[in-house]
Chains A and B, each alone.
Chain A
Amino acid sequence: MSNFFQNFIDPAFWYSVLRVSTPLLFAVMAALVSSISGSINIGIEGMMLMAAFWGNVVGAFVKNPWIGLVAGVASAMAMSLLLAFSHLKLRVNLVIAGVALNLFGSGFTVFMLFALTGEKGTSASLGSQPIPRLDIPLLRDIPFLGKVLNNHNALTYLALISIFLVDYLIRKTPLGMRMRAVGENPDAATSVGVSVLRVKYLSLLLSGVFAGFAGAFLSMGYVSWFARDMTSGRGFIALAAQALGGNSAILGALGALLFGIAEATGFTLQSLRIPSEITNMIPFILTLVVLIIYARTRVRSHSRIQKI
């Protein structure tokens, strides 16, 4: 057990927390920018998968990870555009359209993988173009923190920066305020001349961008190949983390980090022979617990208002 506690003062543990959390951070931002304007993006999982696939494959074909990244993000945006079109224009139920996108992403990527490589498992035979890691001179020399924060994948830093960008966007900019207004009360927004449709399109598209980064990180940073269904439910975990944070980017990001910690702890616990079924459940048990606490505090604050 002493092993277990030692683990938490090991910088390598916190380093891995950041790495585990990176796709979640992006996905939480994707969930946030869409839900803030009133449309829950269930399709994040499928968008991530699509971006993971195209990012890796295009990167391998043109031998440039950055072009791959652009292609990956573009493919996720195309998916989100499809979602926005079917929901906003064709009036399809958002949840059903999202689920359809997820199923489509899972099947289509395997189909294309087979068409391009003749394999159905991984894209390993294409070779890989991972996005480079950044070695930051000043950061490197700080004790402990240097080991935790330095030498991450470039996308990990982008994920951390994007928390504050999204926070600024939704709290300070006119666009952010419109997004919130549309989410809170579309009729009121319309009455003051905000185009609800345009704002919703924009926020779903932005959601696609972040989902694209999340997916690209999986196949170009975390590991350097695409494997079928490699998102493994991370898009859904992100939806839960975003729900914890409500409309705050910072709280949502903390939620993602909490999942990262839970998952990384699970990895360490496992090799100490805690049954794998339990360690694999940890992030999800945590979701339930935090949601219950969250719901209770919400109920309390509501009742207080009523008393006054």
Chain B
Amino acid sequence: MKKFLVILLATLFVLSFARPLKVALLLNGTLGDKSFFDSAGRGIQMAIKELGIEAKIIEAGYQQERWRPYLEDLSDQDYDIIIVGTWQMQEILEEIAPMYPEKKYFIFDTSVDYSKPGLDNVYSILYKQNEGSFLVGALAALITTSGMPKTNPEPIIGFLGGMDIPVINDFLVGYIEGAKYVNPNIKVLISYVGSFNDPAKGKELSLAMYRQGADIIFNVAGNTGVGLLEAAKEADRWAIGVDSDQALIYEDIDIEIAKRIVTSMMKNVDISIFRGLKLHLEGKLKYGQAEALGIAEGGVGVADNKYYRELVPEQIRAKIKEIEEKILKGEIKVSTAYGMSTDELNKLRSSVRP
């Protein structure tokens, strides 16, 4: 009997080495959001197909009280890597990860606080929004003087921010630099709503910017940004979406809005998860720290959907591709708002004041 057990354990031991990597993706929501969660799901499917991993996607729904038990259950099972995402999961993961030091965790679009103990098994994925914003800034500056329908000849573009805070200004810095890169005389109207929950005010501020000659506005305002999209429809001008492909989100809800979103500055959750799993299998992934993914890693980019291809002329798209290449090669360095002093930021803002 004892012998049998030893053999059994030995085979289990060997098998456990031979078996494929087992990954669980825990969504604090459901698939079908056409945004982060669907994108994360695509990343897992890609990894199953190309890396030969074994994976399961668990939809925990939107009730917050269910997220923590789900994560604990999954951690008790035999998964090697458990992936979660968004800032809402950060605190829960910070509590659970130290209890299971033999497991590995990914968290995307936020970083756990590594000054807390026991988080050496967590890999945090951040996105370099400044690089993505550089691209859409350049795109906006090209569009505003391109003579495209709904544009005026004045080189004025707009930016709608939720609040005057570093993460939003990181978008802004990239946006301004990108716009100035293609047109040094560009003017950028900048508005902060002061709230992520006031679409009416977002709409009013956007209409004011459109009225002052902006033909295209970049939406960096969460729920408030819904107001910008409505304003674009009402004023019949252009908008640029953020985070996910907003044209596809609005396609089913209101086609008139989708038709005015030339593109979106995307955070590519799918590519970032795939990349992380690949690095893990190669043994190169560094746990216990956060990594910011930019254009070079495929972490951010311009949404290349049918609206982008139909609305934006060929030569502008080629130019954007060219700028993307340059950032990739390191010929263009995009500044970041993190660590930038208020004086520097104000200088940058006033350099594009109309």
CB of B185, distance to nearest CB on chain A (Å): 17
| Chain B proximity mask over A210-242: 1 for CB below 8 Å, otherwise 0 | 000000001000111101111010000000000
Q: For chain B residues 208-249, which have a beta carbon within 8 Å of chain A?
A: 208-209, 211-212, 214, 223, 226-227, 230
Residue of A12, A229, A270 most packed against chain B (CB within 10 A): A270
User: Whose C-beta in chain A lies nearest to the C-beta of B187?
Assistant: A271
A122 to B214, CA, bound (A): 27
B95 at interface, CB cutoff 8 A: no
Range for the number of chain A residues in contact with chain B: 35 or more
User: Whose C-beta in chain B lies nearest to the C-beta of A232?
Assistant: B198
- Could you tell me if B204 and A232 are in contact, using CB atoms closer than 8 angstroms? no
- Could you tell me if B205 and A267 are in contact, using CB atoms closer than 8 angstroms? yes
Known pairs A270-B191, A271-B189, A276-B194; A232 contacts B201 (CB<8 A):
yes
Known pairs A272-B354, A273-B353; A224 contacts B195 (CB<8 A):
no
- Could you tell me if B192 and A270 are in contact, using CB atoms closer than 8 angstroms? yes
A10 at interface, CB cutoff 8 A: yes
| Chain B proximity mask over A100-118: 1 for CB below 8 Å, otherwise 0 | 0000000000000010001
- What residues of chain A lie closer than 8 Å to B192, measured between beta carbons? 270, 276
**Chain B residues within 8 Å of chain A by Cβ, number:** 36
- Could you tell me if B164 and A277 are in contact, using CB atoms closer than 8 angstroms? yes
- Could you tell me if A124 and B226 are in contact, using CB atoms closer than 8 angstroms? yes
| Chain A proximity mask over B317-328: 1 for CB below 8 Å, otherwise 0 | 000000000000
B260 at interface, CB cutoff 8 A: no
CB of A161, distance to nearest CB on chain B (Å): 22
Contact of B197 (CB < 8 Å), options: A23, A218, A229, A277: A229
User: Whose C-beta in chain B lies nearest to the C-beta of A124?
Assistant: B253
Known pairs A229-B197, A273-B350; A114 contacts B208 (CB<8 A):
no
- Could you tell me if A232 and B62 are in contact, using CB atoms closer than 8 angstroms? no
B207 at interface, CB cutoff 8 A: yes
User: Whose C-beta in chain A lies nearest to the C-beta of B61?
Assistant: A118
Known pairs A16-B207, A16-B208, A267-B208; A218 contacts B223 (CB<8 A):
no
Known pairs A120-B62, A267-B191, A276-B164; A20 contacts B226 (CB<8 A):
no
B200 at interface, CB cutoff 8 A: yes
B174 at interface, CB cutoff 8 A: no
CB of B298, distance to nearest CB on chain A (Å): 28
A156 at interface, CB cutoff 8 A: no
- Could you tell me if B205 and A270 are in contact, using CB atoms closer than 8 angstroms? yes
CB of A222, distance to nearest CB on chain B (Å): 4
> Given contacts A120-B62, A121-B223, could you give 9 more A-B pairs where the C-beta distance is less than 8 Å?
A12-B211, A16-B207, A124-B226, A229-B197, A232-B197, A270-B205, A271-B212, A271-B214, A277-B164
List 27 A-B pairs, Cβ < 8 Å: A10-B211, A118-B30, A118-B62, A120-B62, A122-B199, A124-B226, A124-B253, A127-B254, A128-B254, A224-B230, A225-B199, A225-B226, A227-B198, A227-B199, A227-B226, A228-B197, A232-B197, A267-B205, A268-B212, A270-B192, A271-B191, A271-B212, A271-B214, A273-B190, A273-B350, A275-B164, A277-B164
